[in-house]
Amino acid sequence: MSKSIMDWVDARLPVTALIKSQATEYPTPKNLNYWWVFGSLALFCLIVMLLTGLFLAMHYKADANQAFDVVEHIMRDVNYGWLLRYMHANGATFFFITVYVHILRGMYYGSYRAPREILWWFGIIIFFLLMATAFMGYVLPWGQMSYWGAAVITNLMSAIPVVGEELVIWIWGGFAVGDPTLNRFFALHFLLPFVIFGVVIIHLWALHAVHSNNPDGIDLDEHKDTIPFHPYITIKDLFAMGVFLLVYCAFVFFIPNFFLEPDNYIPANPMQTPAHIVPEWYFLPFYAILRSIDFLGSFSKLAGVIAMIAAIAILFILPFLDRSPVRSFRYRPLSRQLFWIFVIDCFLLGWVGYNPADATRFNGALPLIVVGRTCTAIYFGYFILLWIITAFDIEKPQPVPKSL
């Protein structure tokens, strides 16, 4: 009976063939390690965010006079509103954790290299969209950090020559961040996740066209070196999801405000900026890069904005900067060292971004702005050095296995 129904459907929409080719018989490398689970974890986060976000939107009001109070109404009055909000707020944090690990995994194992450039590019587009969505979502509770975070980030546009000032007023819908800004940000915050979902599908399409990279970074023999996606990878992803949920739920239920700023529980006040504005942790390294360009006089602002955007945009050309004959850093000693310096550097940038702009260490002997500038140089230095050591054959890769 079910077979005949399936036959009837397949004759009209080849579902069985799709499941077969893309899941049960889709070949995956047999040596994938646990760093490869973060893609599906990120997808899981997206689904959690879409679901909790949809239900939060049913209680939220995008009105500058009501937004702050309505978030408290969700927290106190709405049944399980606290859970929805904490899942959503912490979900953003965990979404970024999985995405950052996912990107770094791609960088370490050379997953951006040919023939996976388009796959990589769509990943970066998702990352850009994710940051825009997270930024606009953070404005919605309309607390002090929401308001001033929005003010600082929208003001970045004013650095654009000639049209900058006009552009900012257009984005605000007024002469300052206000009710029109909140309203449009809510509309876009609702829309963008679905755009992300669409780009994720393209990302997966690109993945399934060229197939997964693997820890050895070599091209595989489809018969000898691969295993079917289902059940081998699905079960591994599910196990990882269990571990992920343990950590996520620990935050949601026991320290839900760990990543939130106390100042955001103060209603937005356009007349007073908090003493110390910090963005959410996932923007901190880029924020530090923005602030570290302060030595160019009147060009500092524009240069800082360009540097911050370049810090992400440079990922687009990474596939062409890396000229090594070997993909995986497992067989590239020099690249591997650079990579770990880069990772440590990102954490340092985050720490600099978290501190006030004029903070110092060692009784004023070490202004953090100097640390920020150095770390910014190292950040971009990674990409330049990676190009130099591979384009001029300075790095001697170790022998790579022929197959698994």
- Whether residue 236 lies in the annotated active site: yes
- Whether residue 61 lies in the annotated active site: no
Does the protein bind other proteins through residue 270 (CB under 8 A)? Answer: yes
- Whether residue 59 lies in the annotated active site: no
From the list 38-46, 81-89, 266-274, 393-401, the region that binds other proteins by CB under 8 A is 266-274
Q: Which of 17, 47, 163, 176 binds other proteins (CB under 8 A)?
A: 176
* Active-site residue identified among 236, 263, 294, 300: 236
Does the protein bind other proteins through residue 276 (CB under 8 A)? Answer: yes
In the complex, least distance from residue 4 CB atom to other proteins, rounded to whole angstroms: 48
**Of 181 and 214, which has the nearer Cβ to other proteins?**
181
Does the protein bind other proteins through residue 262 (CB under 8 A)? Answer: no
Does the protein bind other proteins through residue 169 (CB under 8 A)? Answer: yes
Site residues (CB under 8 A) for other proteins, limited to 182-221: 184
From the list 88-96, 151-159, 198-206, 245-253, the region that binds other proteins by CB under 8 A is 151-159
What is the SS3 string spanning the chain? CHHHHHHHHHHHCCHHHHHHHHHHCCEEECCCCHHHHHHHHHHHHHHHHHHHHHHHHCCCCCCCCCHHHHHHHHHHCCCCHHHHHHHHHHHHHHHHHHHHHHHHHHHHCCCCCCCCHHHHHHHHHHHHHHHHHHHHHHHCCCEHHHHHHHHHHHHHHHHCCCCHHHHHHHHHCCCCCCHHHHHHHHHHHHHHHHHHHHHHHHHHHHHHHHCCCCCCCCCCCCCCCEEEHHHHHHHHHHHHHHHHHHHHHHHHHHCCCCCCCHHHHCECCCCCCCCCCCCCHHHHHHHHHHHHCCCCHHHHHHHHHHHHHHHHHHHHHHHHHCCCCCCCHHHCHHHHHHHHHHHHHHHHHHHHHHCCCCCEECCCCEEHHHHHHHHHHHHHHHHHHHHHHHHCCCCCCCCCCCCC
Does the protein bind other proteins through residue 271 (CB under 8 A)? Answer: yes
Contact flags string 121-150 toward other proteins, x per CB under 8 A: ---------------------------x--
* Active-site residue identified among 216, 237, 322, 345: 237
Contact flags string 340-359 toward other proteins, x per CB under 8 A: ----------------xxx-
Contact flags string 285-324 toward other proteins, x per CB under 8 A: ------x-xx--xxxxx--x--------------------
Q: What residues are annotated to the active site?
A: 208, 212, 236-237, 280
Residues that bind other proteins (CB under 8 A): 148, 151-152, 154-156, 158, 169-176, 178, 180, 184, 270-277, 291, 293-294, 297-301, 304, 356-358
